[in-house]
Amino acid sequence: MGNFIVRMNNKQTGRGFYKWYDVVNEENQRRRFLRKAMLYWQRRSLGAGFRRWAEASFRIREATLAFELDQ
C-alpha cells in the first residue's frame, strides 16, 4: 500500500511538471513568433524608407545632370 501512495504522489508531481513545461513552452513559442513578426515589420518599414530615399535621390541627381547637359 505504501508503494502505491508513493507512485501516486510521483505521478501527480510528474503531471504537474509536464503541465508547467507545456505552458512555458507555449509562452516561449508565442514570444518567438511575436519577435519574428515585429522584426519582419521593422525590416519592411526600414526598407520602404530607404527605397523612397534612393528614388528621390536618383530623381534629384537625374534632374541635376539634365540641367547641366542643357547648359
- Rounded to whole angstroms, the Cα distance separating 7 from 70 reads 93
- Rounded to whole angstroms, the Cα distance separating 42 from 24 reads 27
pLDDT above 70: residue 4: no
- Rounded to whole angstroms, the Cα distance separating 33 from 39 reads 10
Q: How many domains does the chain have?
A: 1
pLDDT band of residue 48 (cuts 50, 70, 90) is confident
Range of the domain at 43: 1-71
Annotate 17-38 with b (16+ C-beta within 10 A) or e (fewer). eeeeeeeeeeeeeeeeeeeeee
Tell me which of 28 and 71 has the higher pLDDT: 28
